[in-house]
Amino acid sequence: MFETVLFPIDNSRQASETAAVALRLAQSHGSRLVIVSVIEAEEGTMHDPEAVAALLQQARELFQRAGLSCEVIEREGKPAFVICDVADEINADVIVMGTRGITLEGDQQSTAARVIQLAPCPVLVVP
The total domain count for the chain is 1
Length of the chain, in residues: 127
Q: Confirm whether pTM is higher than 0.75.
A: yes
The parent domain of residue 110 ranges over 4-126
In which band, very low, low, confident or very high, does the pLDDT at 4 lie, cut at 50, 70 and 90?
A: very high
70-87 tens-digit pLDDT: 999 999 999 999 999 999
Tell whether the torsion through CA atoms of 48, 82, 1 and 123 is positive or negative. positive
Residue 47 has pLDDT above 80, yes or no: no
CB atoms within 10 A of CB 34: 22
CB atoms within 10 A of CB 22: 30
User: What is the CATH classification number for the domain harbouring 95?
Assistant: 3.40.50.620
92-103 tens-digit pLDDT: 999 999 986 555
73 and 4 Cβ atoms separated by less than 8 Å: no
